[in-house]
A and B are shown apart, each in its own frame.
Chain A
């Protein structure tokens, strides 16, 4: 199972995130309450509320007592209160999370599967015209930032083509139910998901292709060929399956990247996920929401990496014995 080393690694990462979240507003010059809540919110506050907040954050006490108050609040699931949305930060973030997960999950699955298939085909034909075209094409695609791909798709298929909706995740006030509402969500998803999948296709492709090239040199591939197996069986059952492992390890890291990629793409399509929320909160200087988002997203990505590492160890027992 997991080694102590890994638990320490993730522990340090978590402490780093929490420490950053705790220290940033408190290191700002001036009133820490202002840095925690933002200027606008502070103007509207009554003296009683201010006093209450100072007490809640233990701001009049030593730094260690402040740390204690901070950790206790986190353990209770309190991320603060957003004066802009007039709701607890936790519920604001939670309300947006499903949209982002939908976007990221779909894109991750699509781009990984397509990347693996293209990588296997490309590596199998390595050096051929098809392989070189695919390699150059996908590497170029890799250079196109996801938000630029998104904007081009938006203009071509949304503004000019008018095929897909321009913004949002649902048609507002449409009163759609059942399958009609599912179809509505899907049509709103098409462009952002395409942008994200295209921008993140090359990772899986390049890795699978590289592994494929190494795996194809293995003796068991020669054996499989020598015993007369049809090419597609050698390609997918023998070489392809063994090229999967590195892709699995990377999925955790990609999940993080697609998640942050969604931040940009959501802004392009005004898609109401956590990425767009981050943008809104920054524009409104809603510091509690920014902090809460940072915590939730960072911990989610850490958790994804952690889970992938666990599953990798299950898939390839050599890894856990390697240390």
Chain B
């Protein structure tokens, strides 16, 4: 599987747009403490102000600066997104690769478990768990990662099975290479592009879920989140504040997800090479 990921991505217009969007969001998240004009938690008596020079996007119902909240919201979204993406890839590849290499009863147990998790609607599981333990951001990351590694594990498993039969890996095995050596030296590097796709879609799912859960009221009130901001804004939809409160927040969230989709879609032909050339005009 020799694929030039860089070429694959840079050859696609939407992917470049996706990268630019993601880069802007990452910058906003990293530089939030420097760019944000106010402390996003700072409440004031000047609530529901219209945009002005001092408050670019006005203020919310408790007088917090919306622009500053928007910047800090990017932090939460991306922190949850990247952490969950990485952890899900980690769990997925540990289970997928080990199941394919070890085989036997172990493989059967792991794969049955994976299949079962795939058919369970995860949002509902998270909601019921969150109803009991009000999760802070760390717990949320762990929870989301534990519940979103299974589809990646399935793809990684099937790819490892086919890799195992390749000439060079069969050769290494015939020289007596141990399974752990095979996994680290040959399988994981060859899986690189697939892990990348899994990672990107993992981030996308986590960003969406985090916002959705916060929108439902399942979040740590101390953490500023786009979902929470939209939920607050919904309560004031009869005023004209939605123009600078709801819309920018929703657009920021949507753009982040769109950017990740564009990148993911450009890398996807790696998993299914039959799609290659579908974009080329």
- Nearest A residue to B278 via CB reads A213
Q: Select B120's contact among A257, A264, A290, A302, beta carbons within 8 Å.
A: A302
Tell whether, in the assembled complex, residue B116 and residue A12 are in contact, meaning their CB atoms are under 8 Å apart: yes
A21 contacts which chain B residues (CB < 8 A)?
Answer: 128
Q: Tell which of B33-41, B80-88, B94-102, B207-215 binds the partner.
A: B207-215
- How many cross-chain pairs have Cβ atoms below 8 Å apart between A and B? 148
Tell whether, in the assembled complex, residue A13 and residue B117 are in contact, meaning their CB atoms are under 8 Å apart: yes
Q: Tell which of A113-121, A141-149, A178-186 binds the partner.
A: A141-149
Q: Select A143's contact among B215, B216, B254, B281, beta carbons within 8 Å.
A: B254
> What's the dominant secondary structure at chain B's contact region?
helix
Those of B250-281 within 8 Å (CB) of chain A: 250, 253-262, 265, 272, 274-275, 278-281
Looking at A132, A142, A145, A297, which has the most chain B CB atoms within 10 Å of its CB?
A145
- Given A21-B128, A155-B237, A291-B128, is A298 in contact with B261 using a C-beta cutoff of 8 Å? no
B-contact bits for A256-272, CB 8 A (1 contact / 0 none): 11011001100110000
Tell whether, in the assembled complex, residue A145 and residue B257 are in contact, meaning their CB atoms are under 8 Å apart: yes
Those of A116-161 within 8 Å (CB) of chain B: 126-128, 132, 135-136, 139-140, 142-145, 147-148, 151-152, 154-155, 159
Is A190 interfacial (CB 8 A cutoff)? no
Is B25 interfacial (CB 8 A cutoff)? no
Tell whether, in the assembled complex, residue B250 and residue A148 are in contact, meaning their CB atoms are under 8 Å apart: yes
- Given A9-B116, A145-B257, A282-B131, is A139 in contact with B14 using a C-beta cutoff of 8 Å? yes
Tell whether, in the assembled complex, residue B121 and residue A282 are in contact, meaning their CB atoms are under 8 Å apart: no
Is A315 interfacial (CB 8 A cutoff)? no
A16-B116 Cα distance, complex, nearest whole Å = 9
Tell whether, in the assembled complex, residue A283 and residue B217 are in contact, meaning their CB atoms are under 8 Å apart: yes
Q: Select B123's contact among A140, A152, A260, beta carbons within 8 Å.
A: A260
A147-B260 Cα distance, complex, nearest whole Å = 19
Tell whether, in the assembled complex, residue B261 and residue A143 are in contact, meaning their CB atoms are under 8 Å apart: yes
26 contacts between A and B (CB under 8 A): A9-B115, A13-B117, A17-B120, A25-B132, A127-B279, A127-B281, A139-B261, A142-B257, A144-B254, A145-B253, A145-B257, A151-B237, A152-B247, A213-B275, A214-B275, A259-B121, A260-B123, A263-B127, A264-B216, A268-B234, A287-B131, A290-B128, A291-B128, A297-B124, A298-B121, A305-B119
The 7 closest A-B pairs by CB, nearest first: A143-B258, A143-B257, A12-B116, A148-B250, A13-B116, A294-B128, A260-B123
Binding site for B on A (CB under 8 A): 5, 8-10, 12-13, 16-17, 20-21, 24-25, 28, 35, 126-128, 132, 135-136, 139-140, 142-145, 147-148, 151-152, 154-155, 159, 210, 213-214, 256-257, 259-260, 263-264, 267-268, 278-279, 282-283, 287, 290-291, 294, 297-298, 301-302, 305-306
Binding site for A on B (CB under 8 A): 14, 112-113, 115-117, 119-121, 123-125, 127-129, 131-132, 208, 211-212, 215-218, 230, 233-234, 237-238, 242, 246-247, 250, 253-262, 265, 272, 274-275, 278-281
